[in-house]
Amino acid sequence: MIVVLKDNPNQKQLDNLVQWLKSMNIDIHFSQGKNTTILGLIGDTSIVDIDLISALDIVESVKRITEPYKNANRKFHPQDTVVDVNGVKVGGGNFQIIAGPCSVESLDQICSVAESVKASGAGMLRGGAFKPRTSPYAFQGMRDKGIDLLLEAKKATGLPIVSEIMDLSQMPLFEEVDVIQVGARNMQNFELLKELGKTTKPILLKRGLSSTLQELLMSAEYIMAGGNGRVILCERGIRTFETTTRNTLDLSAVPLLKTMTHLPIVVDPSHATGLSKLVKPMAMAAVACGADGLLIEVHNDPIHALCDGQQSLTPEAFTDLVKSVQNILPFAFHGAH
Amino acid sequence: MIVVLKDNPNQKQLDNLVQWLKSMNIDIHFSQGKNTTILGLIGDTSIVDIDLISALDIVESVKRITEPYKNANRKFHPQDTVVDVNGVKVGGGNFQIIAGPCSVESLDQICSVAESVKASGAGMLRGGAFKPRTSPYAFQGMRDKGIDLLLEAKKATGLPIVSEIMDLSQMPLFEEVDVIQVGARNMQNFELLKELGKTTKPILLKRGLSSTLQELLMSAEYIMAGGNGRVILCERGIRTFETTTRNTLDLSAVPLLKTMTHLPIVVDPSHATGLSKLVKPMAMAAVACGADGLLIEVHNDPIHALCDGQQSLTPEAFTDLVKSVQNILPFAFHGAH
Amino acid sequence: MIVVLKDNPNQKQLDNLVQWLKSMNIDIHFSQGKNTTILGLIGDTSIVDIDLISALDIVESVKRITEPYKNANRKFHPQDTVVDVNGVKVGGGNFQIIAGPCSVESLDQICSVAESVKASGAGMLRGGAFKPRTSPYAFQGMRDKGIDLLLEAKKATGLPIVSEIMDLSQMPLFEEVDVIQVGARNMQNFELLKELGKTTKPILLKRGLSSTLQELLMSAEYIMAGGNGRVILCERGIRTFETTTRNTLDLSAVPLLKTMTHLPIVVDPSHATGLSKLVKPMAMAAVACGADGLLIEVHNDPIHALCDGQQSLTPEAFTDLVKSVQNILPFAFHGAH
Amino acid sequence: MIVVLKDNPNQKQLDNLVQWLKSMNIDIHFSQGKNTTILGLIGDTSIVDIDLISALDIVESVKRITEPYKNANRKFHPQDTVVDVNGVKVGGGNFQIIAGPCSVESLDQICSVAESVKASGAGMLRGGAFKPRTSPYAFQGMRDKGIDLLLEAKKATGLPIVSEIMDLSQMPLFEEVDVIQVGARNMQNFELLKELGKTTKPILLKRGLSSTLQELLMSAEYIMAGGNGRVILCERGIRTFETTTRNTLDLSAVPLLKTMTHLPIVVDPSHATGLSKLVKPMAMAAVACGADGLLIEVHNDPIHALCDGQQSLTPEAFTDLVKSVQNILPFAFHGAH
């Protein structure tokens, strides 16, 4: 961390700052220019609050040199992390497609979709039991009953299941769920992240609508700091001025995150674009630039889907997508981190 | 709600749609152009899922005419709502300043700030006990102990207190807190909103970093649909490409929300700008365009503030701000909704 | 275009509106609901100013059904446009890589890069003579001398050349330039677009930093309305809150634009990301989702590049990129417009 | 400027860098930490290309300490600049309202509006002759005829006139125009800015839709570097994800720019919000936080305005706005730069 001081800093305040930093075991390296004094802070600066230092009267500006995330940082963990979900692996060269309906609606529906996506090549089944809906009047999901149905579909197909948690009070319901998804709106629900850090469950952590890549990694860090290193990151589009697509899928995040972290990164083109006609091309693009997996919404009857139907694929369209993706997979980018 | 159909829609699918709409007591008004058929949906369309209709093969586009929020809608409740907090009123011509430190740090600190802001004219005391921090290694607040200290400061000064809840498991701790704050990162924590709707506590609901005004009102609607109409909205800056300020304070939201809703609207210039030198001018601007109140961060010793120090005012600067704001208040905008 | 009227519209104002619309040969289709009157406007509504109608006292809201662009619209021109640049074709299944340095610096430099990128498979040479720089103190390009050197490189290699125009006063200098590039900052320089519409030159039109896809197509429409249909669109990143990359490459724009327009679409991963390590993966992703070409910055000596060096590739890295791209090309997405 | 080197930098490359910096008269101040070497560059670093240095293999990151603008920088010119337009002063405590129609339409119209806004207290008349319109099919302004009519209105009322230039070929037509406006879409039309720098005309420079404050000041710097210091800055809204307003008015820019520059800053609430009902409250807010002036759209007959009618005020509404603004003016913020 570099601290640039203002001209003629108050000596007493400077002494206070130095003493405070030393109390945190930070070494300080002074470098005195003609008008400017620069402090180089050396040591574990991840515990230093950059906002606090910026606030000081004597400070012109502060700049981090080392990243504030440690457990998620590739520098300290050069090998790719492989998350093993009951034998289904994600990351480190293992590519997986996680597919299923937006919402679980009935036993018939979820089992039928599960059989179908498994046959087409999906490695895991996704399905929403608890649904974060903008409107209190919209369908909120089948809730605990939905989890039960997912577990039935798991039993029927053998596919590990992925489902979204919306509050830590729901934790007991997720005991047999294989991967717990943290949605974009909960990416900075820090109390939830801390609790998930205490489990040993794989966590699928979605990027918030207006979250930077560093903030995404800091949220992963919350989980990892608690002892749970089984985190899968998910790029699912960010909010921008462009409204033709629901969000703007930020695919540069894929190869960039690969240089920043060792965690696997999957892409959700369904939610990102909100348009079923864009799901296949964006899935192909995601694979080409190195994604470790895809999250794809598939419904057996899009006309009657209870939510998010606009972005769902039919099983036939999904089968076609899987083929297109498999064609590209052997030629996909493998970063040089 | 207007539904524009594609050319030559499949008759069976159209019949299905019509039947489904009628099952929700929606009347349909057909209007047949040369190439285009338009359906006008009449009735309580707030329960109709716009995404679901957009998803249908036969639909070109859908547009809402009436807003999807009812309880929060000024159309159905023309008078300003006044939220009464132990006799301290907000809204409907009642202006309040809510001031205090970012984080509660000690009994001395919170009581000293409380006395000071009360003397300068603040109507309520704010203070963070649970702090949402981007980094797991940053100070997370004094938590339940912090709530205790706030209650001491309330006892000492008589000021009602405002504090942020981060998870619904913390609800019991907030029993004696006068106003429960929902932070920007929790604006779409729908499980929390539902629970708050079951209480009778005033709720200070902050706009999310990337939330539209309609989404803010839909989150208020979650609380109100549960039976709790005592919601105070808070504009606190949105995330944009401009990084000189921490966020971009969207003051147009104030007069615009006044036309959309009857709820009081307060502004938080401290968090929005992240720069103490901008707090006073933006507080003045907020008052000029009709805000019902302000949220101002005040610290007795900014150098040692444990977080967010950059945006805190000293008690002296706060006193000066209050005077400047009071000069403008008599001439402030009063909407013509 | 659909116009929703407010309740109980003033009859005189409604008559004025109807008369004005009829004077533009727009047919009006009334549909009267219980509380709402809807006008359906039929005819060439591209000439109707939507803002003007929205402004009327009697109007609640307005929504376009048909797109305001005609020449660029795929609906009226279902076949892909192929832009032929001296025999080098772009679009309709013809894929091209346009490569070269950010700025032309010397005859040696431009010829050496030209030879090198031609050998690796580039179909055209790019090079900046006029450089739009944020700072007046930064290198502004070699200007007319730079154009001369590009023409030398063209003579030496046979590669058609692409260069950016910054003002219509520079038009005479571009007489022998094969493709005139309009930069992101000039996408809405309408006087320049009109003038380019009068030429027969192929135009490479870059998307503005904060331009929607519809605005990009409206700028293309400016050129096409003047009679010049040889427009190549270029996605080069949009400005968002994320600052790790210089801009956010919006690859969904590629398959989406394919459904909206018949014009070819190329992608510039160099400017979009601003990071050389991301150029190859994003080039691969762009090809996977259906881009008709790429714009790649290549420099023979990145250390001494006079500008934008951070995003340049060495000739060796470019050769590697071309191979990776060619592997994916046979399996790339071909839209179902 | 601070340059942080990577671990174990290549010595030859480091020597090259040092030599190149010295050739620009930059002094270098080395500071060697345990793992990190930091270079402090001292001298006129405004001529150093930050992108170029970032691109070097041996460089980890670069940070500017001093701003890249000099002529516009308050540090080097502490007093407020007052722009005198034929005796009508803007800045340094002189507040002005510039009012008039979006487009000049007829002699009657412009003279009638001019008389009316003068009577209400406007200090200058604005009116568009050349109109930047998204669609080539929309009204493009009366062009040179429009300028003639504005000059007639100036003769009739004595009000100085402000009008937008769209291309430098139009310069001769602006000889008698008192203030030349550069629109948001031309803020980075650098060729135009350079030409305006050679004149002695006051320039009203509008912030681009996606321009940072620093970029705005760099564009002012283009004009000032040419010798023309008479620049008035204009905040007119930025593009964000929020679409209820046309743009998001960034009022924090007003007090913030005051600390960065000595140039006057005016605010255009009409274009920023695009909604006439928001013009008055946002004008009041702009004044409260210290704006040196306002740009207000006024039309004598909003129903027939040829463009942008949605944001226009009637003369009566304008008179009311002026009164509200004058009430606040004596209590407005005056920065402590």
Give the mutation candidate from D3, D13, D49 for the C interface (greatest C CB count, under 10 A).
D49
pLDDT score at A311: 74
Q: Give the integer Cα–Cα distance in Å for B101 and B129.
A: 10
Instruction: State the alpha helices, DSSP H only, in D24-106.
Output: 50-54
- The structure tokens 């998350």 sit at A83
A58-67, B278-287, C325-334, D33-42: least confident range: D33-42
Closest CB to A273: pick one of C252, C287, C336.
C252
Instruction: Identify any residues that bridge with D97 across adjacent strands, giving them in sequence order.
Output: D294
Which positions in chain D touch B324 (Cβ < 8 Å)? 331, 333
A94-103, B33-42, B191-200, D169-178: least confident range: B33-42
| Cβ contact B310–A239 (<8 Å) | no
pLDDT score at B64: 80
C301: closest chain D residue by CA? D56
Give the mutation candidate from D236, D242, D267, D270 for the B interface (greatest B CB count, under 10 A).
D242
Nearest-CA distance from C333 to chain B in Å?
22
pLDDT digit string (tens) for B47-100? 787 777 876 778 888 888 778 899 999 988 999 999 999 999 999 999 999 999
Burial class (CB in 10 A: 0-12, 13-18, 19+), D62: buried
Per-residue tokens: D86: 């034929």
Model confidence at C135: pLDDT above 60: yes
The answer to whether the beta carbons of residues B104 and B151 sit under 8 Å apart is: no
Of C73, C79, C100, nearest in space to C91 by CA: C79
Closest CB to A285: pick one of C242, C256, C289.
C289
Give the mutation candidate from A64, A212, A242 for the C interface (greatest C CB count, under 10 A).
A242
pLDDT score at A19: 84
Q: Assign C307 a pLDDT band (cuts: 50, 70, 90).
A: very low
Model confidence at D220: pLDDT above 60: yes
A239: closest chain D residue by CA? D241
Topology adopted by domain A74-331: TIM Barrel (3.20.20)
Nearest-CA distance from A286 to chain C in Å?
6
Average pLDDT in chain D: 91
Q: Assign D307 a pLDDT band (cuts: 50, 70, 90).
A: very low
Of D101, D136, D124, nearest in space to D304 by CA: D101
List the chains bordering chain C where 3 or more Cβ pairs fall under 8 Å: A, B, D
| Cβ contact D51–C306 (<8 Å) | no
The residue with greater pLDDT, D210 or C33, is D210
Please state, for a pLDDT cut of 90, what percent of chain D lies above it: 70
Closest CB to B248: pick one of D250, D280, D335.
D250
Per-residue tokens: C136: 């007046």
Model confidence at B335: pLDDT above 80: no
What is the residue type of C54?
A: S
Closest CB to C305: pick one of D13, D55, D133.
D55
Nearest-CA distance from B119 to chain C in Å?
40
Of C29, A60, C245, nearest in space to B310 by CA: A60
* Enclosing H/E stretch for A3: strand A2-5
Closest CB to B282: pick one of D240, D252, D259.
D252
The residue with greater pLDDT, B138 or A120, is A120
Q: Assign A118 a pLDDT band (cuts: 50, 70, 90).
A: very high
C14-18, C120-124, D247-251: least confident range: C14-18
Q: Assign D126 a pLDDT band (cuts: 50, 70, 90).
A: very high
Closest CB to B251: pick one of D210, D251, D332.
D251
pLDDT score at D150: 98
Size of interface A-B (CB pairs under 8 A): 140
List the chains bordering chain A where 3 or more Cβ pairs fall under 8 Å: B, C, D
A165: closest chain B residue by CA? B191
Nearest-CA distance from B3 to chain A in Å?
15
pLDDT score at D48: 80
Q: Assign B303 a pLDDT band (cuts: 50, 70, 90).
A: low
The alpha carbon torsion through A15, A17, A18, A23 (nearest 10 deg) reads: 120
A90-94, A284-288, D65-69, D302-306: least confident range: D302-306
DSSP conformational letter for B272: H
pLDDT digit string (tens) for A62-106? 888 778 899 999 988 999 999 999 999 999 999 999 999 989 999
pLDDT score at C283: 98
C239: closest chain D residue by CA? D210
Q: Assign D326 a pLDDT band (cuts: 50, 70, 90).
A: very high
| Cβ contact D240–A243 (<8 Å) | no
- The structure tokens 């807190």 sit at B177
Model confidence at B309: pLDDT above 70: no
The answer to whether the beta carbons of residues A43 and A63 sit under 8 Å apart is: no
pLDDT digit string (tens) for A292-337? 999 999 987 755 544 445 678 989 999 999 999 999 999 999 875 5
Nearest-CA distance from A120 to chain C in Å?
19
pLDDT digit string (tens) for A140-177? 999 999 999 999 999 999 999 999 999 999 999 999 99
D244: closest chain A residue by CA? A241
pLDDT score at A31: 73
Query: Average pLDDT in the D289-303 region?
Result: 88
Average pLDDT in chain A: 91
pLDDT score at A306: 44
A258-262, A297-301, B287-291: least confident range: A297-301
A98-107, B81-90, C186-195, D15-24: least confident range: D15-24
pLDDT digit string (tens) for D94-112? 999 999 998 999 999 999 9
B325: closest chain D residue by CA? D331
Of C309, B101, C90, nearest in space to D17 by CA: C309
Residue by residue, DSSP assigns B38-87 as: EEEEES-GGGS-HHHHHTSTTEEEEE-SS-S-STTBGGG--SPP-EEETT
Domain extents for chain A?
Answer: 2-63, 74-331
Q: Assign A206 a pLDDT band (cuts: 50, 70, 90).
A: very high
pLDDT score at C306: 45
List the chains bordering chain B where 3 or more Cβ pairs fall under 8 Å: A, C, D
Of C328, C127, B278, nearest in space to D255 by CA: B278
A259: closest chain C residue by CA? C277
Give the mutation candidate from B16, B17, B165, B189 for the A interface (greatest A CB count, under 10 A).
B189
Q: Assign D35 a pLDDT band (cuts: 50, 70, 90).
A: low
C53-69 burial code (b ≥16 CB/10 A, e <16): bbbbebbbebeebbbbb
Longest dimension (CA), chain A: 76
CA atoms within 13 A on the CB side of B305: 30
The residue with greater pLDDT, D217 or A41, is D217
CATH assignment of A2-63, given 3.40.190.80, 3.30.70.1140, 3.30.70.330, 1.10.3720.10?
3.30.70.1140
What residues contact C135, with CB distance under 8 A and at least 6 apart?
D46, D68, D218, D221
pLDDT score at B138: 85
pLDDT score at A106: 94
How many beta carbons lie within 10 A of that of residue D47, not counting itself?
14
Q: Give the integer Cα–Cα distance in Å for D286 and B230.
A: 31
pLDDT digit string (tens) for B249-267? 999 999 999 999 999 999 9
The answer to whether the beta carbons of residues C181 and C236 sit under 8 Å apart is: no
- The structure tokens 């005004």 sit at B213
pLDDT digit string (tens) for A17-55? 888 888 888 888 777 766 678 787 877 787 787 777 876
Which positions in chain C touch B61 (Cβ < 8 Å)? 63, 65
| Cβ contact B212–D282 (<8 Å) | no
pLDDT score at D52: 73
Burial class (CB in 10 A: 0-12, 13-18, 19+), C300: buried
Q: Give the integer Cα–Cα distance in Å for C172 and D266.
A: 38
Q: Do B74-331 and B2-63 fall under one CATH topology?
A: no
